[in-house]
């Protein structure tokens, strides 16, 4: 499901989902039509992926007036690949999920 280097850097909640192999929704905020595509008790996890969004540094004050150097930090996201009831696969931000009991 994941390689060892990636697994070593996982946040605890992502590692728990990967170890369990099943997830549930972390809150009720998920669209009911989307929820209906998945098992209501335990959703099968088919993969975990680490995605890094590179930040930005701007050194040109024409781009951002009044700021000669602006830096937007990198972001690190963890995506969980879930299998729907019909066998299709969807990727979700890990914060939307938690390990199934």
Residue 48, domain extent: 4-99
The length of the chain in residues reads 101
**Higher local confidence (pLDDT), 58 or 83:** 83
Q: Nearest-CA neighbor of 100 among 43, 47, 48, 34? A: 43
65-96 residue pLDDT tens: 665 566 677 788 999 999 999 999 999 999 99
Torsion sign, CA atoms 16, 13, 95, 53: negative
Poorest-pLDDT segment among 22-26, 38-42, 62-66, 71-75:
62-66
Q: What pLDDT was estimated at residue 58?
A: 60
- CB of 99 closer than 8 Å to CB of 26: no
State yes or no: pLDDT of 100 exceeds 70: yes
pTM, to two decimals: 0.73
The count of domains in the chain is: 1
């Amino acid at each position: 499901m994941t390689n060892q280097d990636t697994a070593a850097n996982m946040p605890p909640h992502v590692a728990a989902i990967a170890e369990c192999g099943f997830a549930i929704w972390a809150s009720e905020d998920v669209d009911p039509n989307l929820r209906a595509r998945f098992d209501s008790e335990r959703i099968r996890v088919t993969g975990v992926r680490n995605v890094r969004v590179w930040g930005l540094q701007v050194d040109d004050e024409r781009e951002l007036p009044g700021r000669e150097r602006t830096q937007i930090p990198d972001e690190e996201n963890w995506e969980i690949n879930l299998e729907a009831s019909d066998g299709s696969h969807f990727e979700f931000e890990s914060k939307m999920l938690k390990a199934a009991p």
